[in-house]
Structure 1
Amino acid sequence: MRVNLLGPIELVSADGVPVPVGAAKRRTVLAALALDLNRVVSGDRLLSLVWDDAPPPQAKAALQGHVAQLRKVLGDGVDLVTRAPGYVLVGDRSAVDVFRFEDLVDAARDAPDEVAVGHLRAALALWRGPVLADVPGDRLREAVSARLDEARLVAVQEMGTRLHRLDRSAEAVSVLAEAVAEHPLREPLVAALVLALHGGGRQAEALDVVRRTRERLADELGVDPGPELRDAFERVLAGDRRPVESVPAQLPREHRGFVGRTDELSDLDAGHDSAIHLLVGPAGVGKTALALRWAHRVAADFPDGQLFADLRGFDETEPLDPGTALVGFLRAFGVTDAQVAADLEGRAAQFRSLLADRRVLVLLDNARSASQVRPLLPGSGRCLVLVTSRHRLDDLVATEGATALAVPTLPEDSAVDLLAALLGRQRVDDEPDAVAELTALCDRLPLALRIAGARLASRPRWTIRSLVDELRDEQHRLALLSLPEAGRGVHAALAVSYRELPEGAARLFRTLGLHPGADLDSYTAAALLDINVVTARTHLRTLAYTNLLHETTPDRYARHDLVRLFTRQLVSVESEVDTKVARLLDYYVFVGDSARTHLSDHVRPFPPPEHVPASHPALDSHAAALEWFTVEEPNLRSALDVALAGGGLRRTWQLALCLDAFHFRRGDRLDRVTLCRIGAQAARRLGDAHGEATFLLRLGSTLADLGRVEEAVDECTRAAELAGGDRDLELAASANLGYCLMADGRLDEAQRWMTTALELSREVGDERSRVGVLNNLANLSLRRHAPEEALRHATEALGLVSAVAPSKAHTATLHTVGTASQQLGRLQVALASYREGLALAERLGDRYQEALCHRGIGDVLERLDDLAGARPHWLAALIRYRDLGLADADDLAGKLDPNLTAPVRNR
C-alpha cells in the first residue's frame, strides 16, 4: 500500500486500486503521520496540525475516531500503531511518495548522467500537483511545502543540466521552460535554460530569455543578474556550446546544533599543511560532525572541488568497496563510465592523475581500515584528505604520514550547549542539576545527548528530571538512548563495533561485563579469562584500537559507562559467570594480600585463594605496593561490593582487610571505620574469632583517633575477649586497648595494658610491635607531663627501628621525640625530628603522620619567631586534618588568618 502526498492525498493498494480515505481531517491525520513515517507523532502535535493550532474541545475524541477509521483501510505493509505519547505510521520508505522522490533524487546525485536522468524523471513523475493539495488547513502544508517545492525545482534544474551534458538540449529545454515560467527570477534555473537553448542552436531565444530576465530583475528587485546568469550570457555570445565543467561540491550539510570542539578545530587548522588528517574516536562521539564543520570552514581553499564518500565501515551492510567509491569520484569530474578503468589499481591511478594539478578536499567518512582508504588518496600534496574512523588506523600514520587526532567526548559546558541547541536555553537553564546529571548519564557522548534531547524536544511537557529518572535505570538506559528506527542509537552503534571483533577480543569484551570498575589492567583481564597476560594485553590493545576501550596510562584501559552497560547485556548470556567472578575476586585478594605485606606493620598472610592467578604484578617494594593500591582502590571497593552481594564471606573480610591496610597507611579514618565494620561482620558470620578480633582492634584505634573514645574502648575490650590463646592477637589487643584507654584519659589502666603488651612483645619476639608499644608509653608520659621519661621511651624505640623495615611506628616515634624535645625546650632537636618524621611519612604515604609533623614544625617555628615559615606548615596540616576528619582541625584553624583558611574545605 502506498500513501501519495505530492498532489491531492491518495491511498493506493498494492495492486494500484485507490482506497477512499474519507473526511478531510482524516486525510490530514494520514498526511501528518506519513510525513513522519516510522517516527512517533504526539497526540498534541496531531491535534495542532489537523485543527490549525485551534482544536475544539471534542478534537481528541475526533482524532481517535479518525485513527480508528484509518486502521480499517490501511494494510499491505503499512500499519498505524499506538505508541506513547501518540501514534506512528510504520512502513517502508517506498510506501510514501515523498520519500520515494527524495531517494530517487539522492540516487541521481552521484550517478552517471544517463542513469541520473532516469532517476530524476521518475522522481518528478511522482508530482501530481501542489503538495497536500486537498488538505484543508494551512499548518501542515506550510510545514513541508516550501522544502519539497525547493527540492522539486533543484531536481528539475539538475535534470536539465544532465540532459544538456548528454547533448539532448531539446529535452532539457522542455523540462526547464515550464519551471522558468513559474519561477522567472530563479537565476540558476534561468541560466540552465539559457545554456540548453544555446546548446540546441537557439541562440536568439537564449539571448531573449537573458534580456527579459535582466529587465524583470531590475524592475522588480532593482538588481543586476548574478554570476551564473552572466556566465551563461557570455558563453552564448562567445558561441561556446560545451557543457559546463562540473566542480564537485559533495560535502553534506553541517549537523544542526554543532557545539564546542574549539580545541579540535584549532588542531585541524594548525595542521592544515598536512595532506591527511585522521579523526578517530568511539561510536557516537561526533567525528563526522566535527569533520563536516571543519571541511565547510576550509572548503574555499579547495576551489577545484570537495569530494565526500561514506565508506560505511561500521554499518549493518558491507563496507563500501574503494573501487565503487572511485567510480563516484571519477564521475564527479566528468569521466564517463566507458572511460573508467576496469580494476581498482587502474581507477586509483586515474584518480591520482585527475587530481594531480587540482586542489581538492576529500572527506572519507566511517573508514574501516587503511586498505579501504589507500586507493582513495590523491597523489598530490595540494589536495587534502580528511578521514574519520572508530579504528585508530595506525597504518595510515606509519606509512602515509597521516596526522591523527583523537576526538573525545564533549566537555561539560559543550554538552550543556548541545542540549540547549535542541531544547532551548531557557528549558536547560531552568533545571541545571538535572541537566548536569543527564550529561553524565549520556557520558557526554553527542549521539546519546542528541537522542535524549530529541526525546525531550518531542515532549515539551516533560521535565528534564523526568527523563533523568528513567535513565538512572541501568537495565533500560541503552534502550532509552535509541531511536525508533532500527539501527539507530548507542546500542546499535556499539553492536556493530562488537560484531567485527576477533573472537578472543570479543570474549574479553563480553567478560568485562562482570568487572565492576571503570578501568583495569592486563593482569586483571588475564585473571577474568584465565589466560596469560601477553594474550590479555593483545586483546585489550585490539579493543583500544577499535575505540571500545581507551588506554589511560600504559597497560591500563578505561571504558565509558554506556560501554559498561553494553558489556553487562552481553555477559548476561555467558556461561560460568560465577566462576569468572570468583577468579576476579581471588585475583584482587591475592595481589591485595601481597601489597599489604609492604604496608602493614603486622601481617599474617592469607591462605592461597581458590583461584591463584597465573599472572600478577610484581609488588616487590613499599612504593610499588602503595602505587598499586592507589590505582586499584576504586576497583577494590567495587570488588568488595561484589563480594558482599554474593562473592563469599571469606573474600569479603579479606578484601576489607587489604583495603584497611591501605587506608591505615593513608590515614583515612572515616573509610577505615566502614571497612572494619564490614570485615568484622563477615568474620563473625564465618565464626572466625581471630578475624573478628583483628577488625575490632583496628576499629577501636581508629575510633580513638576520631575522638570517639568510649566506643573505641568497647571495641578493643571485645577484641581482647576474643583473643584468648593467640599470643600475637593478645599482644595487639593489649596494645590497642592501652592506646584507647589513654585517649579516654584513663592513664593508669592504659599503662597496665601497655606494660602487658610490652612483655608480650618481648615474649613473642615482635620488635615492630615493641616499637609501637614503647612509643605509646612515651605518649602516655607526655600526658603526665613527664617529657624526660617520654624521651627515654621514644629513644629506646628508635634504637629498635633499624632492625625492622620503615614503618608507621617509626614515623610516629619520630613525632613523639619531636614533641618531647619541644616540651623540654630543645627546639632545634624537635624541629629536626619533626622534619625527619615528615620525610618518612611522605615516603610511606601516611597523611595522618604528615599532618602531625606539619603541625609540629609550624608550632616550633612559631616559638622561634618565624611565623612566615610556620603558616605554610599549619595550612598543610589543616588541609590534611579536615580531609581526614580529625577532631583538632578547628583548633588548628585558629592559628591561621581567615583568608588563608578560606580555600580549605571538607572533602
Structure 2
Amino acid sequence: MGERDGIENTITGGTFLAPVVQAREVHVHRSTTARVPRLLGPAPDVFVDRTPVFAALARASAERAGRDAPLIVTVTGLPGMGKTATALRWLHQLGADFPGGHLQDDMSPQGPLKPRDPAAVLEGFIRELSGRQEQIGPSRPTDLNGLAAHYRSLTADAPTLVLLDNVVSAAQVRPLLPGHPGSVVVVTSRFPLTGLRVSHPRTLSVHLDALDAGSGAELFHAVTGRPDALDRPALEDVLRACAGLPLAVRIAGARVGELLETGEDPAELARELVDRRTRLEALTVPDDLSVAQVFDAVYDSLAEGAAELYRALGLHPTPEFSRELVRRLARTEGDVRTLVRERLLEPAGDGRLRMHGLVHDHARTAAGGVVDTRTTDRCVDRHSAPCVDHYVDWYLERAAAVEWQTSDRWRYGPMFAQPERLRNAFAGADEALDAMEADRANVVAVVELAHATGRHAAAWQLCEALRGFFFRRKYHADWVAVCLTGVSAAQQGDDPIAVARMHLELAFAYADRDDESDAAAARDHYDHALTLACALRHARTESSALEGLGLLELRAGRPQAAADHFRRAVDALEDIDHPRGRALLTFHLGRALSADRRHSEAAELLLRARALFAALPDHFNEAKSLWHYAQARLRADRPDEALAPLNEAAALIHTCGAPKEEADILLLRGDVLATEGRQEAAEADWRSALELYVRVGGAGGESTGARAARERLGG
C-alpha cells in the first residue's frame, strides 16, 4: 500500500479468526440500556364493586399464554361510569408481568368529534420505547403503516401493556396493537366498537353498569371519609339521585365532605338532588367538573336528528319507553341506533329502551322545557309542546286500543268513535294487557303530565280508556290515582258530561278495590255522577250510576234495595240501544234475587244474562254469569247443577286475562269437587286459585280470596 502518510498498512504477528478493524483511531461508544416506559396513570385510591368484571378479566388474562395475538379488552359504558378507573385498577394489578413496558394515551382529548390520529400516538409510543434517544427523522418511517410496523418491532420481544382511553373507532386501535402475543391492550370507549370484534373476534367486551345501592354507599362514604355523613333516609335520597353513576356519587360525596368541614348542613344537598330541577346543578364541583359537563360533550357530538330525538325523550315523564314510541319520535331509524351506540339509550327488555336517570335529566334540560307535574309547571319551550302532544296522543291511542280489546262497554271519549284506529293494534286481550303492563308507570305519569300541562281533555280521556286494564289487572292504587286526576282534569274543562263520567270512573275504581273503607267514597262519587247525569238528562251515565249504587247495596247485604236500583237503571235506558248495558243489569238483578233466595227467578235471569253476553260476544261476563249461576244453584241446595257451569266458566275466563276472576271461579269449583269427594282435583283447583290471587296481590298484602284458598289447603 502507499507510504505517503508514513503509516505501514500491514498486520503482522499472528493468526486472526475474526474480522479485524484497521483504522488510525477507534472511538468506542458504550450503548445505554433503553428505559422501559411506565406511562400508566395512577390506580384509583378508592374503588368499589366490579367483582364480576374483574373475574372475567382474570379468566382472560390466565389464558394469555395460549394466544397467538395480544389480548384485546374493550371496557364500555356511559361517561362517568368508571371505565378508565376500572382499566387502571386491573392493569396495575398485572403490571409486574409485562417487562415490555406500560403505554397509555387519550384517543380523543378534544372530544369524540376530533379523534386522535393513531400516527401521532405511534410517534409518542415509539419515542418512549426507544428511551427518548431515537427521533423521528428522514431515515425513519412517517406514514401510518411504517410507524405501526416499527412499533410492532419495538414491542416484539416482551409483553407490553397498552391502555387506549376514550377510543372513538376501531381504526384507532388496530395500528396500536403490540408485536408480542402475550401483550394486553385495554380499550375504553362509549361505543360498542363492533368493527374491532369483526377484525379480532377474540376481543373480550366488558360493559360497566350502574353501581348497586350497597356499592354506591361504600363509595360515598369512602369519599366523604365519614360513615355518619348523612342519616339513612338522606343517604338513600342521594344514592337514588345519583342512580349508580360513580362520577355522580364521587361528586356528591366530595360536596357533602366539604359542607361538613365548613359546618353547613349536608341535608340541603340531599334536598337539591331529590329535585330534578336542581339535580344536575347540585352534581357540580365549581371550576372543575360536573356530571352535566360530561354529558354536554356527548350531546354536542350528536347529529341534529339524534340530538332532536335525545331532547324529545328527555321530555318523556319517565326514563323507560317502548321502542315503538322511540321510533315514532325519531326522524330515522339511524337516529335511534346513534343514541344506542352512544350508550344514551340502552336495551331494557323485549321491545323496550331506557335512559340512565341522570342522562334523562340532562336530556330534559337540553330540551329547554321543564315539566314538573307536582307544581304544574308548563312547558313553554318551542321544542316541548309538540313532544308532549306526541306522548299524550300515543298513550291515549294505545290505552284505547287495549280498552277496545278488553271490553265493549260504551265510552264517552271521542277516540272510541274511530274503531278503525283501535281494532287492529293487538291480536287479542292478553297481548293488549301485557303491552300496557310494560307501560303502566308511563301511562300513569302521562295522565299527570297531560293534566299538569293544560291538556285536560286528554287527561280524562286517558282515565276512561284505562279502565279495562286496571279492572283486569287490579292495580287499584294507580287506578284510583289516575281517576282522581281525571276528575280534576274534567272539572277544568267545559264538558259537564265528562265530569259526571269521571266521578263514575272514580266510584267504580273505589268499589272494585273490595275494601269496606272505600265503599263510602264509592257511594259519594256514584251519587255525584247520578246528580249530574239527571240534571244533564244523560241516560247512559244515569243508568251506570244506579247500577253502581245497586252493586254497593248488594255488597252490603241489602239485596232488595240492590234490585230496586237495578230496575231503575233499566228504566233509565228507555229506548237506548245498549245491549251490553241491558245484559249487565240482567246479570246484576239475577245476583240480587239469588241473594234474596228467589232461586228460580235468579237462575232464569243469570242464564239469560249468559246468553246475552255470548251474543255480544263478551266471554268475560259470560264466564261471570255462569259462575254466579253456579253460586245460585248452591244456594238452592242443588250442587249437582253447579259443576258443569263452573267448568264452562273456567274455560271461558282463562282466555280473558283476568286472574282474579279466574281464581274466584277455581276456588268455588274446588269447593264443589270437595263436596263430591274428589279431594285431589279440589286441591289442584285451590292451589291454582292461590297462585292467581298471589300474582294479583303482589306486594299489597294477602287478599280475602288468597286467605280462603290457603285455609282450604290447610295452610
TM-score range, shorter chain: 0.7 to 0.9
**Structure 1 counterpart SS, 2:285:** coil
Asked if residue 754 in structure 1 is aligned to residue 566 in structure 2, the reply is yes
SS in 2 for 1:271: helix
Question: Residue type of the partner of 1:477?
Answer: R
1:245 matches 2:34: yes
> Where does residue 85 of structure 2 map in the other structure?
289
Q: In the alignment, is the contact (CA less than 8 A) between 2:472 and 2:657 conserved in 1? A: yes
- For residue 284 of structure 2, give the secondary structure of its aligned residue in structure 1: coil
What is the rounded CA distance, in whole Å, between the counterparts of 2:169 and 2:329 in structure 1?
A: 30
Q: Deviations over 1:307-346 (max 9, x none)?
A: 2222135649943321111112222321712364211121
Alignment pair present for 1:798 and 2:610: yes
For residues 243 and 761 of structure 1, the distance between their equivalents in structure 2, rounded to whole angstroms, comes to 105
Deviations along 1:636-678, one digit per CA (max 9) or x if unpaired, are 1221112111232211211222233321221233433333333
Change (3 A) 1:591 1:367: same
Identify unmatched segments of 5+ residues in structure 1. 1-238, 902-907
| CA distance in 2: counterparts of 1:615 and 1:490, whole angstroms | 43
Bigger relative contact order (CA 8 A; separation at least 6): 2
Shift of 1:834: 5.0
| Aligned amino acid, residue 358 of structure 1 | A
* Alpha-carbon distance in 1 for matches of 2:710, 2:145: 77
The Cα of 1:733 is off from its aligned counterpart by 3.7
Q: Are the equivalent residues in 2 in contact too, given 1:777–1:793 (CA < 8 A)?
A: yes
Q: Is the 1:861–1:869 Cα contact (8 Å) retained in structure 2? A: no
The CA deviation at 1:560 is 1.7
Whether the 8 Å contact between 2:80 and 2:245 is mirrored in structure 1 is yes
Other structure's SS at 1:683 match: helix
Give the distance between the partners of 1:346 and 1:300, measured in 2 at CA.
30
Listed one character per residue, the Cα deviations across residues 247-273 of structure 1 (whole Å, up to 9, x for unaligned) are 333322211111110111112223334
Task: Measure, in 2, the Cα distance between the counterparts of 1:900 and 1:579.
Answer: 58
With over 3 angstroms needed to count, the CA separation of the structure-2 counterparts of 1:674 and 1:412, relative to structure 1, is closer
Task: Name which of structure 1's ranges 294-303 and 283-292 shifts more when overlaid on structure 2.
Answer: 294-303
Find 1:421's aligned residue among 216, 222, 245. 222
Could you tell me how far 1:843 is from its partner in structure 2? 4.1
1:501 to partner: Cα distance:
0.8
Matched, 1:497 2:298: yes
Instruction: Give 1:7's aligned residue.
Output: none
Matched, 1:475 2:277: yes
Mapped to 2, the partners of 1:842 and 1:245 lie a distance apart of 78
Answer with 1 or 2: which has the greater Rg: 1
Alpha-carbon distance in 2 for matches of 1:393, 1:605: 53
User: What CA distance in whole angstroms lies between the structure 1 residues aligned with 2:266 and 2:284?
Assistant: 17
3-state SS, counterpart of residue 258 of structure 1:
coil
Equivalent residue for 2:9?
none
Aligned ranges for residues 504-583 of structure 1 at < 5 Å?
504-525=305-326, 528=329, 531=331, 535=332, 537-572=333-368, 574-583=381-390
Could you tell me how far apart the structure 2 residues matched to 1:832 and 1:303 are?
83
Once the two structures are superposed, residues 203-259 of structure 1 have per-residue CA deviations (whole angstroms, 9 ceiling, x without a partner) of xxxxxxxxxxxxxxxxxxxxxxxxxxxxxxxxxxxx995322333333222111111
- Give the distance between the partners of 1:468 and 1:718, measured in 2 at CA: 43
**SS in structure 2 of the partner of residue 342 of structure 1:** coil
> Does residue 395 in structure 1 map to residue 195 in structure 2?
yes
How do 1:888-899 and structure 2 match up within 5 A?
889=703, 893=707, 896=710
Q: Deviations over 1:757-786 (max 9, x none)?
A: 457779545443344223322321332234
Cα distance change, pair 323–827 in 1 and its aligned pair in 2 (3 A): farther
* Equivalent residue number for residue 12 of structure 2: none
- 3-state SS, counterpart of residue 256 of structure 1: coil
Q: Secondary structure at the match of 1:242?
A: coil
- Are residues 1:872 and 2:687 paired? yes
| Aligned equivalents of 1:795, 1:615: Cα separation in 2 | 32
After TM superposition, give the deviation of residue 750 of structure 1 in Å: 2.0
Structure 2 match to 1:144: none
CA distance in 1 between partners of 2:205 and 2:619 (Å):
48
Contact 2:614/2:622 (8 A) holds in 1: no
Q: Structure 1's 681 and 726: CA in aligned 2 closer, same or farther, altered over 3 A?
A: same
Higher alpha-carbon deviation: 863-872 or 280-289: 863-872
Alignment of 1:189-200 (within 5 A): none
- 1:551-606 deviation per Cα after TM superposition (whole angstroms, max 9, x unaligned): 21355321122112212221117525323322332222233222321123314474
Comparing 625-634 and 254-263, the one that deviates more: 625-634
Q: How far off is 1:418 after superposition?
A: 1.0
- CA deviation string 1:19-57 (max 9, x = no partner): xxxxxxxxxxxxxxxxxxxxxxxxxxxxxxxxxxxxxxx
| Distance across 2 between alignment mates of 1:762 and 1:473 | 54
Report how far residue 287 of structure 1 moved.
0.8
Larger deviation, residues 500-509 vs 777-786: 777-786
Q: 1:818: how far off?
A: 4.0
**1:593 maps to 2:405:** no
Q: Structure 1 residues 854, 253: closer, same or farther in 2, change over 3 A?
A: farther
Tell me if the contact between 2:72 and 2:184 (Cα under 8 Å) persists in the aligned partners. yes
Scaled by the length of structure 2, the TM-score of the pair is: 0.81
Match of 1:447 among 247, 271, 275: 247
Of 521, 526, 531, the match for 1:716: 526
Aligned counterparts of 1:571 and 1:615: Cα–Cα separation in 2? 31
Is 1:370 the counterpart of 2:370 in the alignment?
no
Q: For 1:327-346, what aligned pairs fall within 5 Å after superposition?
A: 327-334=123-130, 336-337=134-135, 338=137, 340-346=140-146
Displacement of 1:854 = 5.0
- The answer on whether the counterparts of 2:666 and 2:689 sit within 8 Å (CA) in structure 1 is yes
- Conserved in 2, the CA contact under 8 Å of 1:700 and 1:712? yes
Q: How far apart are the structure 1 equivalents of 2:613 and 2:327?
A: 40
CA contact (8 A) 2:402 2:432 kept: yes
Alpha-carbon distance in 1 for matches of 2:440, 2:351: 17
Please give the secondary structure, in 2, of the residue aligned with 1:458: helix
Question: Whole-Å Cα distance in 1 between the matches of residues 88 and 613 of structure 2?
Answer: 67
Contact kept, 8 Å, 1:311 with 1:367, in 2: the verdict is yes
Partner of 2:414: helix, strand, or coil?
coil
CA contact (8 A) 1:285 1:447 kept: yes
Residue of structure 2 equivalent to 1:386:
186
Q: After superposition, what is the alpha-carbon deviation per residue over 1:268-296, rounded to whole angstroms, capped at 9, x for unaligned?
A: 22333483211111000011111112222
Aligned partner of 2:206 among 393, 399, 405: 405
Aligned to 1:52: none
Report the AA paired with residue 694 of structure 2.
I
Aligned counterparts of 1:314 and 1:391: Cα–Cα separation in 2: 16
Contact 1:592 1:658 in 2 (8 A): yes
Instruction: Give the Cα separation in 1 of the matches to 2:651 and 2:79.
Output: 48
Provide the aligned C-alpha RMSD in A: 3.7
Preserved contact between residue 405 and residue 428 of structure 2 (Cα < 8 Å): yes
In 2, the alpha carbon distance for the partners of 1:851 and 1:294 equals: 54
Worse-matched range after superposition: 467-476 or 703-712: 703-712
Instruction: Assess if the C-alpha contact under 8 Å between 1:526 and 1:615 holds in 2.
Output: no
Pairwise CA distance, 1:805: 4.1
User: 1 CA distance for matches of 2:402 and 2:126?
Assistant: 64
Query: What SS does the corresponding residue of 2:660 show, helix, strand or coil?
Result: helix
Q: Distance in 2 between matches of 1:802 and 1:644?
A: 39
Question: 1:444 offset after TM fit, Å?
Answer: 1.2
Conserved in 1, the CA contact under 8 Å of 2:429 and 2:657? Answer: no
CA contact (8 A) 1:837 1:853 kept: yes
Kept in 2, the 8 Å contact 1:737–1:753? The answer is: yes
Say if 1:704 and 1:712, in contact at 8 Å, map to a contact too.
yes
Q: Is the 8 A contact 1:518 1:635 kept in 2?
A: no
2:616 alignment partner AA: V
Query: Could you list the per-position Cα deviations for residues 171-205 of structure 1 after superposition, in whole angstroms to 9, with x for gaps in the alignment?
Result: xxxxxxxxxxxxxxxxxxxxxxxxxxxxxxxxxxx
Does structure 1 conserve the Cα–Cα contact (< 8 Å) formed by 2:583 and 2:609?
A: yes
Residue of structure 2 in register with 1:744 after alignment:
556
Q: Is the 8 A contact 1:314 1:497 kept in 2?
A: no
Q: Distance in 1 between matches of 2:323 and 2:253?
A: 37
Give the corresponding residue for 1:259. 48
SS in structure 2 at match of 1:405: strand
What percentage of aligned pairs have identical amino acids?
Answer: 30
Task: Decide whether the 8 Å contact of 1:818 with 1:833 is kept in 2.
Answer: yes
Aligned residues: 653
- Alignment partner of 1:678 is 2:678: no
